[in-house]
Amino acid sequence: MRQGDKLTSNIDWPILLVYFLILGMGLMTVYSTAYDAEHPNILDFSMLYGRQVMWIGVSLFLGLVVFLIDSEIYRKFSIPIYIGTLMLLVVVLFTPPINGARAWLGVGSFGIQPAEFAKIGTAILLANYINRMNIKQQNVKNVLTCLAIIIIPMGLIILQPDAGTFVVFTSFFFVLYREGITFDPIVLSLINLIPGVKFKQTWIGTHFIPLLFIIVIISVVTLLLSKTTFDLAFVGLYELPSIFGIIAAYFIIGLLFYVVGRTIVGNRNKRRLLFIVILSFSIVSFLSASISTVFSHLKQHQKNRIELLLGLNEEDQRDGDDYNRNRAMTAVGSGGLTGKGYKKATLASVESNHVPESETDFIFCPFAEEWGFVGTSVLMGLYLFLLLRIVYIAERQRSVYNRVYAYSVGMILFYHFAINIGMNIGLAPVIGIPLPFFSYGGSSMMSFSAMFFILLKLDSQRRDTLF
């Protein structure tokens, strides 16, 4: 089944070139951010940039190793790999907390985050399972198994707690959508839950469940009496309680969705849609009823970030809970069009301490301050090319396994890229997510590189893989 091609004959060189470009730009930014005139040698391992060189070297070696392994090995050993990462997630829960979280395994200043490698194990097993199941004949068992593969590590990660990695794991749900595995009840529930939280202090928030129950009853009756069914009508009726709070608007806008849905969508499976209505209501009722309990058990800084994101805390928090985000935006904006120049960042350097964690989660700040809008546009263009190239690679695969894994890598990288940049410019909450191949750190660099080179390996053997 395998041909005796040369090792490098089918490598996707454009994406590999972009990988090294981002890697190099990240290293130079770490060097500039943490630069110490008394230790100018970039290979000084007592400094952040020296250790970053070491982590890059380890990551490249790890990438070479995973690339040399036959891709069939990942498929055959997907379950042991997945279980191994789960065991690490369990073990880490019994370690001493570092910065309030039990997320690290290691000795002294050197350690790894098992959650980073759990992404690889989950992607490999999910790809293998979807490849083996019959997509056209989905059943409850297959769907629940896919959910379990994703949710089990998510549950262990939130116990650490690591909110950032927990959020990243939701990217796997979009991979399932690409393969035709949808979760309409969950999606509709989340659509209504977020506005419900946003308006929890209003009259409609106080009476959210009773009014929602009335609307669901109307939806069910409509579905049973009509000759055609449509998702759009239900979505309109379902989301109104948490947005408007005026009963008259339910019927007017609901009727509009009814007409549009009847005209455009056409016939649908009525029993399936009825099941979605009831299950969606059950899920959102449970989530709404338990949200106060869950919220009360969060740490104060986590509560503050959620309130800031939802606009529930309107007070000026420039020197309070929104400290990091405001300082980051100031540093990014100070770069102007072309920046201040290399190693000339005054706000986002480690020495100034104006922006905390400027070498990790907020490394985009010193880069933006030094290179300005022009430089950040180039960097974001490289990431955009990387992501689009992964989509291209995914779609040219002959194997479902390869395609699912490629989309998993693409979605993980997209989540990290979008949320990290959003954190730095005030569009996303601060949840501790590094910029792939760019931020300082050993675990993230190794895990990103490993999953990237596994993708290169799968793609290089795509002509030999039939299923």
Instruction: Tell me the residue length of the chain.
Output: 467
Residues 6+ apart with CB under 8 A from 154: 166, 169, 170
Residues 286-306 have a mean pLDDT of 57
Quick one: pLDDT at residue 312?
52
**Using alpha carbons only, how large is the chain's radius of gyration in Å?**
24
**Contact criterion met (CB below 8 Å) for 364 and 332:** yes
Residues 360-377 have a mean pLDDT of 90
Q: What digits encode the pLDDT tens for the residues 135-170?
A: 555 667 787 888 889 989 988 988 887 888 888 998
**Contact criterion met (CB below 8 Å) for 449 and 437:** yes
Rounded CA gap, 7 and 20, in Å?
Answer: 19
Q: What digits encode the pLDDT tens for the residues 227-259?
A: 444 343 344 343 444 334 334 444 444 444 444
Q: What is the pTM of this model?
A: 0.74
Residues 393-410 have a mean pLDDT of 92
For 410, the token pair is: 């693409």
Alpha helices in 103-207 (DSSP H): 114-132, 140-158, 163-169, 171-178, 184-198, 203-206
pLDDT above 70 covers what percent of the chain?
Answer: 64
Please give the C-alpha separations between residue 171 and each of 166, 253, 448, in angstroms, as whole numbers: 10, 32, 15
Helix, strand, or coil (residue 42): coil
pLDDT at position 423 over 50: yes
Quick one: pLDDT at residue 398?
87
